[in-house]
Amino acid sequence: MHKRTLMKDFVEELKWRGMIHDQMPGVVDYLKEGMGTAYVGIDPTADSLHIGHLVSVMMLKHFQVCGHKPIVVMGGATGMIGDPSGKSEERNLLDEETLRHNQESIKEQLKSFLDFDSSETNAALMTNNYDWMKDFSFLSFIRDVGKHLTVNYMMAKDSVKKRLSGEANEGMSFTEFTYQLVQGYDFLHLYQNYNCRLQMGGSDQWGNITTGTELIRRKTGGSAFALTCPLITKADGGKFGKTETGNIWLDPAKTSPYAFYQFWLNTSDEDAEKYIKIFTLLDQETIEKLTARHREEPHMRLLQKSLAEELTIMVHSEEEYNSAVEASQILFGKGTADTLQKLSESMFLSIFEGVPLEEISRAQLEAGIPVLEFASDIAKAFTSRGEARRMVKDNGLSINKEKVGEDLIIGTQHLLNNRYILVQKGKKNFYIVRVA
RNA sequence: GGGGAGAUUCCAGAGCGGUUAAACGGGGCAGACUGUAAAUCUGUUGGCUAAGCCUUCGGAGGUUCGAAUCCUCCUCUCCCCA
């Protein structure tokens, strides 16, 4: 509980975790002076963070743990423009109401990571650049901000160069070209109002961040710094944080805690070694021990389990974590069919929370329904009966965890808790039918 | 504005006028193996009241006993020249 007295060196901390891609000279010295202030930007494009945001958030987390003051800047203004770094397409404007709603939801989520408690001197702070940009007139902006940087300087940025010369040769609108100035101004604003002298972000943000430090230098003569982390990759080349079903969100309504837990649990060995350093707060010694053990007995998947545990507890809760583990054991463990029968209704529901659910009338069930029809038409596990037929032939369909044949008739005797029937396609796809 | 190429089932890409629900590959899904992994191997991949039937090859017409394959028009895409 007295972490602050044993203040860790922030840069050293990020270094061993492999979270530093690049930094401007002077960062270390700046942070040695005492409590520093740093910010990262987050686009409020949705009312929830997804795990792609987690790296920046963890940087802030470590920053705060090391005794410094983190600021989150919601990109209410910048989010409207679209960052030319990367392939982002033209953004839609969000109306102010949505913006505020998203900001509030995200702040709620950030509370699991950062301490916003105002009694602490290094309490985290949340701001929105929409607030200081919305009334900034175009004329003022080009006089006060645009004047200080040359187009030559701005054009030298990779993000711009790529768009102007690249094979893609899509060109770039003036709006997008201006993006770095707007983001740069954010930094200046924070520098002047909160004495914030460090901006962090993914390595793709380097160019934008340095525009900010340059602006600060030219306009105020002060010095500010940049620190970026490597982009998170997957060993197989896929995009991190995406699954077939889409983004992994922190919002339990968008991604159930069970799915969240499963995502981390399914990390590949290679990635797990990287991720555990980036996404958990476990200390170096613990991680090194875990990694060593994991290499000896990789099938135990110690790293994946720790990763999933740490993250699920941090983002959701210990209870959610426990039920995710329990659910996983029932779904993938041994005591399948029997355990399933013994589950209480509430347990059953919490395990299968988020699993697609369809309803059926009791009368319909009493009459009896052929499995194929049941699995495709009722449970919607298949798009057609032909597909269901094939799957059954391949031994890929289970009802209540038991493989079934084509001729089975589903009736009330299959009900669990007198109310549910579990349909399973292959190993990992579950569907539930409930008596209405 | 002139000239050329093309549009095929999730993608990519074949396709003598009949034997083509449409090759090969990728992806997806499933099975085996395993660590709920990777790799590998196997099966499958339009629908149905299923040894049969129905709907598909950019759109609309036409030729033909019969068309994804031939003709006409339309729409869209790409390339080259000005």
- Tell me, rounded to whole angstroms, the distance of Cα A311 from its chain centroid: 11
Q: What is the DSSP letter of A416?
A: B
Q: Which residues touch strand B (CB under 7 A)?
A: A 236, 244, 262, 265-266, 268-269, 298-299, 301, 304, 328, 332, 376, 383-387, 389-391, 394-396, 425-429
Q: What is the DSSP letter of A233?
A: B
Average pLDDT, chain A: 86
Q: What is the pLDDT of residue A374?
A: 92
Strand order in the sheet with A198-202: A22-23, A225-229, A198-202, A37-42, A69-74, A125-128
Calculate mean pLDDT across residues A100-129: 91
Calculate mean pLDDT across residues A260-272: 87
pLDDT tens digits for range A353-367: 778 888 999 999 999
CA A165 – CA A157 distance, rounded (Å): 12
Looking at chain A, the whole-number percentage of residues with pLDDT higher than 90 is 48
pLDDT tens digits for range A184-204: 999 999 999 999 999 999 998
Contact A307, A268 (CB under 8 A): no
Virtual torsion, Cα A425, A430, A432, A433, nearest 10 deg: -10
Calculate mean pLDDT across residues A86-99: 63
Decide yes or no: CATH 1.10.240.10 for domain A242-333. Answer: yes
Q: Is the pLDDT of residue A70 over 90?
A: yes
CA A409 – CA A374 distance, rounded (Å): 9
Decide yes or no: CATH 3.90.230.10 for domain A350-435. Answer: no
Active-site residues of A: which are they?
45, 50, 53, 87, 91, 183, 204, 239, 242-243
Closest nt to residue A262, judged CA to C1':
B36
Q: Is the pLDDT of residue A4 over 80?
A: no
CA of A372 to C1' of B18 (A): 36
In DSSP terms, A242 is beta-bridged to: A247
Half-sphere exposure at residue A414, Cβ-oriented, CA atoms within 13 angstroms: 26
Looking at chain A, the whole-number percentage of residues with pLDDT higher than 70 is 90
Q: Pick the residue with more confidence: A5 or A230?
A: A230
pLDDT tier for residue A106 given thresholds of 50, 70 and 90: very high
Which residue is nearest nucleotide B36, judged by alpha carbon to C1' distance? A332
CA A186 – CA A209 distance, rounded (Å): 10
Q: What is the DSSP letter of A166?
A: S
Q: What is the pLDDT of residue A78?
A: 81
Residue A367 burial by CB count (10 A; 0-12/13-18/19+): exposed, middle or buried?
exposed
Weakest mean pLDDT among A236-245, A294-303, A304-313: A236-245
> For residue A341, what are its two tokens?
């029968």
CA of A374 to C1' of B42 (A): 28
Half-sphere exposure at residue A252, Cβ-oriented, CA atoms within 13 angstroms: 15
> For residue A123, what are its two tokens?
């309490």
Q: What is the DSSP letter of A385?
A: H
Closest nt to residue A265, judged CA to C1':
B36
Q: Is the pLDDT of residue A2 over 50?
A: no
Q: Is the pLDDT of residue A149 over 60?
A: yes
CA A416 – CA A352 distance, rounded (Å): 13
- Alpha carbon separation from A355 to A48, A214, A257, A341 (Å, rounded): 20, 51, 12, 18
Q: Is the pLDDT of residue A23 over 80?
A: yes
Mean pLDDT is highest, among A56-60, A334-338, A399-403, for A56-60
Instruction: Tell me what ipTM this predicted complex has.
Output: 0.80
Q: What is the DSSP letter of A261?
A: H
Closest nt to residue A328, judged CA to C1':
B36
Q: Pick the residue with more confidence: A337 or A269?
A: A269
Q: Is the pLDDT of residue A131 over 80?
A: yes
Closest nt to residue A236, judged CA to C1':
B38
Domain positions in chain A are 10-229, 242-333, 350-435
Q: Pick the residue with more confidence: A161 or A228?
A: A228
pLDDT tier for residue A271 given thresholds of 50, 70 and 90: confident
Residue A1 burial by CB count (10 A; 0-12/13-18/19+): exposed, middle or buried?
exposed
Q: What is the pLDDT of residue A91?
A: 53
- Alpha carbon separation from A415 to A326, A340, A362, A432 (Å, rounded): 21, 11, 10, 11
A84: closest CA among A186, A189, A188, A158?
A: A158
Weakest mean pLDDT among A93-107, A194-208, A417-431: A93-107
CA of A168 to C1' of B75 (A): 27
CA of A173 to C1' of B57 (A): 40
Q: Is the pLDDT of residue A89 over 50?
A: no
CA A61 – CA A290 distance, rounded (Å): 22
DSSP A80-146: HH--SSTTPPPPPPPPHHHHHHHHHHHHHHHTTTS---TTSTT--EEEEHHHHHTT--HHHHHHHTG
Q: What is the pLDDT of residue A290?
A: 92
Closest nt to residue A424, judged CA to C1':
B30
DSSP A322-357: HHHHHHHHHHHSS-HHHHHHH--HHHHHHHTTTS-E
CATH superfamily membership of A10-229: HUPs (3.40.50.620)
Q: What is the pLDDT of residue A240?
A: 77
A379 membership: H or E segment, kind and range: none
CA of A386 to C1' of B14 (A): 27
pLDDT tens digits for range A242-251: 665 667 889 9
CA of A255 to C1' of B62 (A): 55
CA A163 – CA A222 distance, rounded (Å): 31
DSSP A28-92: HHHHHTS--EEEEEE--SSSS-BGGGHHHHHHHHHHHHTT-EEEEEE-TTHHHH--SSTTPPPPP
Protein CB footprint (7 Å) on chain B nucleotides: 28-32, 34-39, 43-50
Calculate mean pLDDT across residues A105-114: 93
Q: What is the pLDDT of residue A1?
A: 40
Calculate mean pLDDT across residues A381-392: 90
Closest nt to residue A426, judged CA to C1':
B30
CA of A186 to C1' of B3 (A): 53
